[in-house]
Amino acid sequence: MMQVNKVHQIEVLEGLKELPDNSIDCIVTSPPYWNLRDYNVKDQIGLEKDPEDFVNKIVEIMKECKRVIKPTGTIWLNLGDSYFKSNSNNCKSNWLQQKQRLLIPFRIAIKCQNELGLILRNDITWVKQLWNCKTKESFGSSMPTGVKDRLNTTSESLFFFVKSNKYYFNLDNIRIPYRDKKITNSQGKNPGDCIMFPLEPSREKHIAMFPKTLPEFCIKAGCPKQICKKCSTPKLIIKKSDSPYSFNIRVRDVKNGRIKSLDRKASLKETKDYNEKNYVSKKEDQIILSCNCKAGFNSGIVLDPFMGSGTTAIVAKKLGMNFIGFDLNKNYIKIANRRISQIGN
């Protein structure tokens, strides 16, 4: 296993191949977009002449990502799209035409489904800027463009993949409050798949940083904070005051490493069977659920194969989890290490 809590200067596939099977709890990453920026490093991804080559490279990386995540693991892949530009009048195909939006993120997602067998649970739209057509109000911000024959692009795709139909997902960590304050027996509503992660100003010399709210959302939902050293069952701590049904939760999903909503009562038989087979501790206002291995716990591990300036690592550490990062650009690694070292200062 590679050293945790470190950003390794290594090519992404080489780094992934050094990780054991089923060793990572959560992957949050954003590869370079095709034909958009030159990061001035050897073996960088994104400058392929043919966008199909880029698509195939990302799918190859996703194949390794599938191998290294645990059966209960989650993968969150942020991808932006590109337009085809050509100085030649001879188009190679109907797809590669001048001004064509290439739909690269969706071509990658479909290959991940068809060729890798990954399960796509959500195609999340990262809304950077939103315009209310009725009120003429605008919310958020995006990169301006001088183009005059199409609309500006103000959103990106965030794909939520898993490799097993039973996986860790904590919806309660990301619920949003109801507007109606009279609703008291609920922890909030499901946030849905159109989310505004506001861009954040930065003085760093990295022009493609995503905001901290994006990996925070993914990690809170898709990575257990503590897992059993022996069987990898997540340790779940629930405040009784947060649960409208106190201890009557979906214990079957906890046993399978898949934490779902607390809004359905477990049957008496479910609760009784779970108490007999698993460790349950009730302390003050808490309910602690875990396996009965009594082997101790490790922190969940978050991997970002394209770490860049270290945003994913910073968020993982603040949430009490471990991280592993890869990047080829030594200047970005310096930025990441400096930012990570400032946590808690």
Residue 286, domain member (yes or no) = yes
Domain limit, last residue, from 290, 310, 329: 290
Asked if the structure places residue 259 within a domain, the reply is yes
* Residue 60 counted as domain residue: yes
Q: Residue 43, SS3?
A: coil
Element (H, E) at 176: none
Predicted confidence at residue 259, as pLDDT, reads: 45
- 196 and 65 part of one domain: yes
Same domain, 286 and 154: no
Which of 146-160, 191-205, 243-257, 317-331 is the least confident region?
243-257
Which of 266, 290, 314 terminates a domain? The answer is 290
Residue 231 covered by a domain: no
Q: Mean of the pLDDT values across residues 128-140?
A: 94
| pLDDT tens digits, one per residue of 169-209 | 999 899 998 887 666 546 789 999 999 998 887 666 555 67
Does 126 share its domain with 207? Answer: yes
Statement to judge: residues 120 and 168 lie in one domain? yes
For 81-120, what is each residue's pLDDT tens digit? 999 987 555 566 889 999 999 999 999 999 999 999 999 9
Domain count within the chain = 2
1 belongs to a structural domain: no
Residue with structure tokens 């082997």?
Answer: 295
Instruction: Based on the fold, state whether residues 150 and 240 are members of the same structural domain.
Output: no
Q: What range does the domain containing 276 cover?
A: 236-290
CATH number at 40 reads: 3.40.50.150
Start-to-end CA span in the chain (Å):
29
Average pLDDT of the residues in 45-55: 94
Q: Which of 290, 310, 333 is the last residue of a domain?
A: 290
Alpha carbon separation from 27 to 75, 155, 201, 240 (Å, rounded): 5, 21, 25, 30
Examine the domain organization and report whether 20 and 149 are in the same domain.
yes
Residue 6 has φ and ψ, to the nearest 5°, of -145, 145
- 192 and 50 in a common domain: yes
pLDDT in tens, 318-329: 999 999 999 999
Q: Are residues 158 and 207 in the same domain?
A: yes
Q: Are residues 27 and 158 in the same domain?
A: yes
**CA–CA separation, 188 and 185 (whole Å):** 9
Q: List the single range of 110-119, 167-176, 215-224, 303-312 with lowest mean pLDDT.
A: 167-176
Same domain, 142 and 64: yes
In a domain, 230, yes or no: no
Residue-level pLDDT at 238: 60
Same domain? For 190 and 61 the reply is yes
Residues 30 and 77 grouped into a single domain: yes
For residue 129, what pLDDT band results from cuts at 50, 70 and 90? Answer: very high
How many angstroms separate the CA atoms of 199 and 202, rounded?
A: 9
Query: H-type helices in the chain, by residue range?
Result: 12-17, 51-68, 104-114, 213-222, 251-255, 268-277, 311-318, 330-341
